[in-house]
Amino acid sequence: MSGILKKLRRFDAYPKTLEDVRIQTFGGGILSVVSFIIMGFLFWLELVDYLTPNVTEELFVDTSRSPNIQINLDITVPKISCDSLDAMDSSGEQHLEIDHNIYKRRLDLEGRPIEEPKREDITIKTKNETEDSPKNKTECGSCYGAALDPNRCCNTCEEVREAYRERRWAIDNLENITQCKDEKFHEKLKTAFTQGCQIYGSLIVNRDTVGLATEGATMFQYYLKIVPTTYAKKDGTLIKSNQFSVTKHQKVISIMSGESGMPGIFFQYELSPLMVKYTEKERSFGHFITNVCAIIGGVYTVAGLLDTFLYHSLKLIQKKIELDVRELSQNYVGGSELQSLRNQIQGLSEETSNNLKRNVYQNYVQFIDTAKEISHLESEMYQLSHLLSEQKSLLSALSATSILEDTTPVSIERDNKADEKNLEEENKQKLATILEKSRGLQGDLLEIDPTENTSLKTVHVYLFTDGCMITTRNTNNRGLMKYVYEIMYDLSSLAVVNVRDLGNVKHAFKLLIFPDTRVFQCSSNSNKKEWLDKFDQAKKTKLAQEQQKRESIIEKSPSRSASMDSPSFNPFEEAEEETGLVHPEWFLDIPEELDVCVAQRHFEEALAFLQKAKEYINQFVAANGQPDHVMIDIQRKVEQRQNNLTEVLMKELEVNPDKSLQGGLRAARKAVRLLNQLGRSTQSCDLFLKLCSSMLKTQCKRVKREGSMTMYVRHLSSVVFTNMCHMSEEFLRAFPDSPSCASAYVVWASGELSLFTTHFAKQVFMPQTSLSTIAECVVMVRTQCERLCTYGVDLCYQLDGTLRSPLTKVLRDTRDKLIDSIKLRALDEKWRPINLHTRSSLARCLQEHVVMGLKLDSYVTGDTWLQLTTSVLAFAKVFLTFLDDCMKLKTTELMFTINETLYSVFEAQIKHNENSLRSELNQDQRHFLTKNAEFLLGTVVEVAQKKYAEAVGYECPTLAKIQKEYSALTKGVSPTSRSTKTKYSSEFL
């Protein structure tokens, strides 16, 4: 048995390792957690997919078509009375004996029911039934002279109205028609538009096209495509249904618009001969288990490969680093390496120095105070050195006198009693000095950690007139010492800052002593206020004492000339060659004054000090031709302060995301003017233009894309060019006489205009934007751009050049669309005159065209007839509108494209007239075609030439050419000697 087990061990594909040999890493742990999450997520997705039924789709020919289909409907017509409802198939035959359940409910104009719904009989009698009626057998109704066939009978009001329509006659009064009286048609006509109607219910018709119509002035068409569908569930349940898609079309039926059709509401059903069948099927459990195993094994394997790769990669990198460090330490110890390290250290030193300078500038107030103190200390050191040299001279003179025995040596003997008295007096003076210094404040304070806000220890603080001493309690109770000295801070080297109450930290203040910060907490708010007041008072007192001390030293210190004339002057010492020239005190203090002005942002005063110092330096003449070191030092400091002032002013003009632009360009006037006075006009101009760009960009972002395209372009162009005009005005004020700056401004304005035109082209030149809208937008932008000419900047040429290419494309696209519309109208053209039915409609039509410049009085015949076709009149209106838009867009470079486009559009229409005239044999119809051609080549071309000449100054050559080429059409003759292709024709293009 044991041998069999040993043999089985050989087939173990998963050998195990000892626990001591396994290594668990942090990266492996993270990878394992991520692997488990991925496994769980994929398992959940697979489970959801398994539980979801699998639906298969089949498509086959529908062989189980039922003879009928049920239609459910609910239609409300708010302003047309319940008049008629017909059902017909695709051949136009009306249905008889239809199974239906249709109801009509009369409504008022506000949609409220007037009466209860009534079941409507929508079937009508057949022709044979109508002829067999008793009335038809006994009599034949009169058509009142409107019937084209003398034997025709008009037994209903509808037949009379149909006869009148065929004659194109108008019925003056329906009450005079006997058939209309019988059918109460007049009463129905009165209520036709004073009531509404709700039609609802269902009907069963053949599976063909169905139309439901009511009277109205608009045709509503709904096209429904139906696909029979069967859905088979897992339990064997079979659901029969239909899938459909709906397309809506709506148009107004009007003679003026040239639209034909029947007003009403139409539903057209188109059933597909194919059927779709969906079948639910369960998924295989074995497939689910296989996928789960694949997910677990795949994720586990990939994770293992990634873990192995990462582990070995990190080990290789670690070994590489160790080898590099070992080689570097063993091999690179030469002079070149040390030199490179030295260069790196120097670079770090320079970087540290720059950072230090930057930090010093940021804390400029403290820096200025420190500079003042250093300056005062330097003066005091100089005075002290002077006093020491005088004392030295005096002591040497006394020593020489003693050696020459000019005086007797002084013997000093002290008595023991006198020593005791002097010692007692000295101690009293020391105690008095300590008491005088400790007149401030003392007390216990709790020290708090400044970062973690935790209590550290209790200290006892003494506030003297010249310093602050901090002590701690003596833990050793032996002796008289109650507190142990910790540290003493000079008042001039510390700053006291109030700390706001936050959490457990209350009634606290800070002591800032570079580089340390200590926080102390008082017992109460009044105690804290007392400490802050005492600190402030002590600092002010010490500053006043130091100022008085400096003034007294300056007054009491003898000059160098007095030292030379004094009796203690040593004639054997070498005389100093530097006699020194005393400069005015304001000149010596000029660096400190400049620092103060820059720190307090008094830039104009700083500039005045600079100019005053430069004038003094230029007028200064050194004595004996020797260089004055004081003057050189002050001059160097003044130049440094001037560079600092320039940097500060340039930062005022820099564009920063965190910087507010609320003040606008007015806030930058001062900085620009001062930089110009400092001789930095080029830099100030550059920064000024960058500021203008930033402000212009901000203003454009505030313009929202709301409303129509025209409103958006009007608002955007107004914002852009108004700001550019304002910036031009500010620029001319800041740089009145600077050609280089003016050139920079022109370049800037050109760049900003390029950005604007790029955005304008993206927004306006869209396929769905009409030419009229584009022309209006372009005119607005050109008008705004012309405002810059007031300031001597004419960028209209650049604007036109940028828009030339997209405008050319738009003109040609519009030309193609117009030609296509002319061809579509030509397909439906029947060359019939326009009947406006009433004189008022005719007068209104004539007035509308007079506004456009077209006089149609000569084409009026009868009372309501116009001897022009609908398509010709529509073309005239469209062509003149197109011409107006072209004239708005005209430039010298676009005139060729405009002329070419006008020729192509007009030629497409006149060719249609020519082709119709060639194929027409009826003389009356040819006369009518000649009349339309005369209108196009005469009236329309004359109006177009007049508009063209008013805009350009001369007539359009292409329109004159086409008028000449097709002049034979006005005489009823087709042109013969004419080339079929011209450079303006669409075939040539």
- Summarize the confidence of residues 221-239 as an average pLDDT: 84
The more confidently predicted of residues 518 and 131 is 518
Q: Is residue 826 over pLDDT 80?
A: yes
- Summarize the confidence of residues 4-21 as an average pLDDT: 65
Across 9-13, 415-419, 644-648, the highest mean pLDDT is recorded for 644-648
**In the beta sheet, which residues pair with residue 242?**
228
Confidence label for 817 from pLDDT (cuts 50, 70 and 90): very high
Q: What's residue 322's pLDDT?
A: 78
Percent with pLDDT over 90 in the chain:
13
Token pair recorded at residue 299: 């994720």
Q: What's residue 749's pLDDT?
A: 92
Confidence label for 586 from pLDDT (cuts 50, 70 and 90): confident
List, for residues 52-63, the tens digit of each pLDDT value.
888 888 888 877
Distance between CA atoms of residues 111 and 104, nearest Å: 13
The more confidently predicted of residues 636 and 707 is 636
Q: Is residue 148 over pLDDT 60?
A: yes
Q: What's residue 423's pLDDT?
A: 62
Q: How far is CA 163 from CA 92, 147, 158, 183, 730, in A?
A: 20, 5, 9, 17, 81
- Summarize the confidence of residues 644-653 as an average pLDDT: 86
List, for residues 15-50, the tens digit of each pLDDT value.
665 555 566 777 888 888 998 999 999 999 989 888
Q: What's residue 42's pLDDT?
A: 92
Q: Which helix (H) or strand (E) holds 484?
A: strand 483-490
Q: What is the model's pTM?
A: 0.44
Q: Is residue 359 over pLDDT 70?
A: yes
Confidence label for 213 from pLDDT (cuts 50, 70 and 90): very low
List, for residues 667-719, the tens digit of each pLDDT value.
788 888 888 888 888 888 998 898 899 888 888 888 888 778 889 899 999 99
CB atoms < 10 A from the CB of 433, how many? 10
Greatest alpha-carbon span in the chain? 182
Q: Is residue 417 over pLDDT 80?
A: no
- CA angle centred on 415, ends 412 and 418, rounded to 5°: 105
Q: Which residues touch 219 (CB under 8 Å, ≥6 apart)?
A: 250, 251, 252, 253, 261, 262, 263, 264, 266
Distance between CA atoms of residues 494 and 514, nearest Å: 8
- Summarize the confidence of residues 565-588 as an average pLDDT: 53
The more confidently predicted of residues 29 and 131 is 29
Distance between CA atoms of residues 669 and 671, nearest Å: 6
CB atoms < 10 A from the CB of 108, how many? 12
Distance between CA atoms of residues 903 and 964, nearest Å: 12
List, for residues 452-461, the tens digit of each pLDDT value.
788 888 899 9
DSSP designation for 807: H
Q: What's residue 334's pLDDT?
A: 53
- 123-126 contacts: CB < 8 A, separation 24 or more? 123/94, 123/95, 123/96, 123/97, 123/98, 124/86, 124/94, 124/96, 126/96
**In the beta sheet, which residues pair with residue 218?**
252
- Sign of the torsion angle spanned by Cα atoms 39, 41, 47, 53: negative
Q: What's residue 980's pLDDT?
A: 44
- Summarize the confidence of residues 510-521 as an average pLDDT: 82
CB atoms < 10 A from the CB of 587, how many? 17
Confidence label for 563 from pLDDT (cuts 50, 70 and 90): very low
Q: Is residue 813 over pLDDT 90?
A: yes
Q: Is residue 977 over pLDDT 80?
A: no
By CB atoms closer than 10 A (0-12, 13-18, 19+), residue 711 is exposed
Q: What's residue 783's pLDDT?
A: 92
Give backbone dihedrals phi and psi of 231, rounded to 5 degrees, phi first.
Answer: -120, 120
Q: What's residue 577's pLDDT?
A: 40
User: 472-481, 766-775, 783-792: which has the minimum mean pLDDT?
Assistant: 472-481
Q: Is residue 888 over pLDDT 70?
A: yes
Q: What's residue 125's pLDDT?
A: 43
Distance between CA atoms of residues 518 and 500, nearest Å: 15
List, for residues 253-293, the tens digit of each pLDDT value.
765 555 556 667 788 888 888 888 888 888 888 888 999 99
List, for residues 75-127, the tens digit of each pLDDT value.
887 777 775 444 444 444 444 444 567 778 888 777 788 777 776 655 444 44
- Summarize the confidence of residues 785-796 as an average pLDDT: 89
Q: Is residue 401 over pLDDT 90?
A: no
User: 285-299, 864-878, 973-987: which has the minimum mean pLDDT?
Assistant: 973-987
Q: What's residue 282's pLDDT?
A: 80
- Summarize the confidence of residues 341-354 as an average pLDDT: 81
